[in-house]
A and B are shown apart, each in its own frame.
Chain A
Amino acid sequence: MQPLGSRNRIALLGLSVGLVLADSSVVTLALPKILVQFDVEVSTLAWALISFNLALALAAVPAAALARRRPVGVFGVSTVVFAAASLACAFSPTFGVLVGLRAVQGVAGAAVVVAALDLLSEATGADASAARIWALAGIVGASVGPAIGGILTQLFGWESIFVLQAPVALVGLLALRGVQARPVPEPAERPQIAANAALLLVSGALVAALFLLVILLINGWRLAPLAAGLVVTIMPLAAIAATRLARGISPLWTRAASGAILISGGLAALAWLPHAGVVWTILPQIAIGAGLGLALSALTQRALAGRSGQAVHGGWTIAARHAGIVLGLLLLTPIFTSDLNRNEHEALAAGTAAVLDSRISPLDKIGVARDVLVAVDRATAEGRIPDVRAVVDHRDDSAYADLGNALQDQLDRAVTNAFSRSFLVSALLSLLALIPIVLGRKEVGI
């Protein structure tokens, strides 16, 4: 068998890293379908994401310790396990089994990612280049995850996400062709605490951008998964552009701080959207994407810079990032579900007021109010937002058209506002990341 060229090896390893890290967000757009299929509560549904990220966070450092001794073996075995678990996820008979298999994916995925870092160092011949490529693959993977998941869900169903992952993961095994075994390296230094703490907080903040924004687009504003997937592609594009521009920004801590500020501002703008509609999310998404590109690349470079045993320190960054995602999910899910329930009541009251104050025939108001309530109850039972305009706006009468618009406006306001507090809490998490970034600015002298 011909040994693989280093460029191809690097591309394949980058693909493997991107694929695994995309998995933390790839099922986001499939969640509404999974919710209906397995008939679970929203708070329970979050475990489809939490189990993967928690397992990844817990397994990353032990897997890295193993991977730096046997990177080839660890990468090979974990890739096969990851592919098998992915395929099994597609055929999960119950939600519990799906959660369990997602955890298996997380453990195997952690080993794939940290072993890939070690193999990238071999392929590039330089730890710094390896760290840059590894970080970029992770950023792209995590940020394109929702878009790819949405497109696959709409075209082929949520199961197709996992079915497709398996062969793509196995393609990564080609990176092992002709890899030479290395001697066992010296013990790793202690982890870079400040950079990892900042990574944890920034990743927690990104939960809102990568998960909640998608839910707002699909479940709140009733966009098709494919359309929502395309909308959130803005973030990875901005992240890639920012990563390319970022090299000119030094020292590293200023790049990380700029990123955290941009993420925080983008999330605050999402919390204070002046109107429902995709167009209002574009600027905040650009800010978040650019911030993501700057902060994650800088913090990962800081965490890995000048450290021996790069795979272990890569493991720490993966642990920090995915612990941050778990923190974000655990923190935001109760806030979001509570605000959704509160706003459901406020929307009903505001909608009722719109009916009572409308120009339609007074005696029609009771019937219309009842029709709307029936539509709301039916939609709630099906886990979706009702199309209130369609309920009312079926008569050739401008008063009914106005009422339909007024009801839709109240619904849009309620849905959009239900996400507000969660986005603000996320913005705060990103701002908190400035503390370790500033405190740790002298830890690495670059």
Chain B
Amino acid sequence: MRAIGYSTAAVLVLVGLYLALGGASYAPAKVADPCAPRSWRSPQGFEAVAEQIVLSALDGAACQLHVSREDMVLALANPDSRQQFVREHNISNAELESLVHTGLTRSIDDAQNAGALNATLAGILRGVVGNLPIDELLNLLQRLRGL
């Protein structure tokens, strides 16, 4: 019977140690709730303003579709992933584009209200966002990096 006692004790110490070191929570990080309010961080420079506008827009669209912001990014990564996303969520491409555009326009308004964008730049951005498809918007953002 002593062997059983020793084995049980050894196992309890081993498993207890691994659990104490975080073994039960060693998993991919949980993504944030897109519907939870995120504070506007007073970004410095155009790049940072553009980033917050895009992230905020993705949060809005993701919240409406009950997915994560990261799922939205993955969906918009390429045409194949977008087709898969619209199939899985039973929406059309046009509805997806509309959600993102609406989110972007609202984010630009928020940025202007927070003083991160002046009225002229906000107006230009609204025009660009309102007239370009998502793919071209993403390509434009990447090209801006090269300037």
- Please give the residue numbers on chain A whose beta carbons come within 8 Å of chain B beta carbons, in ascending order: 249, 254-255, 257-259, 261-262, 264-266, 268-269, 271-276, 280, 283-284, 287, 291, 294, 343, 346-350, 352-354, 356, 361-367, 369-370, 373, 410, 413-414, 416-417, 420
Contact = CB atoms under 8 A, between A and B. Distances in A.
Given A373-B77, A417-B26, 7 more contacts: A254-B1, A268-B15, A274-B22, A275-B22, A350-B28, A366-B141, A410-B29
Contacts of B11: 261-262, 264-266, 268, 287
Contacts of B110: none
A266 to B, nearest CB: 7
Contact of B145 (A287, A352, A363): A363
B10 A265 contact: yes
A440 to B, nearest CB: 15
B28 A410 contact: yes
B119 interface: no
17 contacts: A258-B4, A261-B4, A265-B12, A269-B18, A272-B19, A272-B23, A283-B14, A350-B30, A352-B73, A361-B145, A362-B50, A363-B47, A366-B141, A370-B77, A414-B27, A416-B26, A417-B26
Contacts of A356: 55, 69-70, 73
A417 B28 contact: yes
A413 B28 contact: yes
A291 B29 CA distance: 34
Interface in B8-45: 8, 10-12, 14-15, 18-19, 21-24, 26-32
Given A287-B11, A356-B55, A373-B77, A349 B26 contact: no
A365 B31 CA distance: 17
- Main secondary structure, interface of A, reads helix
B10 A262 contact: yes
A363 B50 contact: yes
A369 B73 contact: yes
A54 B144 CA distance: 61
B124 interface: no
Contacts of A291: 7
A353 B55 CA distance: 11
B51 A249 contact: no
Contacts of A276: 26
B18 A272 contact: yes
A440 B78 CA distance: 61
B90 interface: no
A273 B70 contact: no
A265 B7 CA distance: 9
Given A363-B47, A364-B145, A350 B31 contact: yes
Given A261-B4, A265-B10, A370-B77, A349 B70 contact: yes
CB-based closest 3 A-B pairs = A265-B11, A272-B23, A362-B51
Contacts of A365: 51
Contacts of A414: 27-28
Contact of A346 (B18, B28, B69): B28
Given A264-B11, A353-B31, A255 B3 contact: yes
Contacts of A287: 10-11, 14
A364 B29 CA distance: 22
Contacts of B24: 272
B7 A262 contact: yes
B6 A343 contact: no
A352 B28 contact: no
A363 B19 CA distance: 40
B54 to A, nearest CB: 8
Contacts of B73: 352, 356, 369
Given A261-B8, A262-B7, A353 B15 contact: no
B114 interface: no
B4 A373 contact: no
A287 B50 CA distance: 54
A52 B30 CA distance: 41
B141 A373 contact: no
A364 B19 CA distance: 38
Contacts of A275: 21-22, 26
Interface string B39-75: 0000000011011000100000000000011110110
Contacts of B22: 274-275
Given A365-B51, A373-B78, A254 B14 contact: no
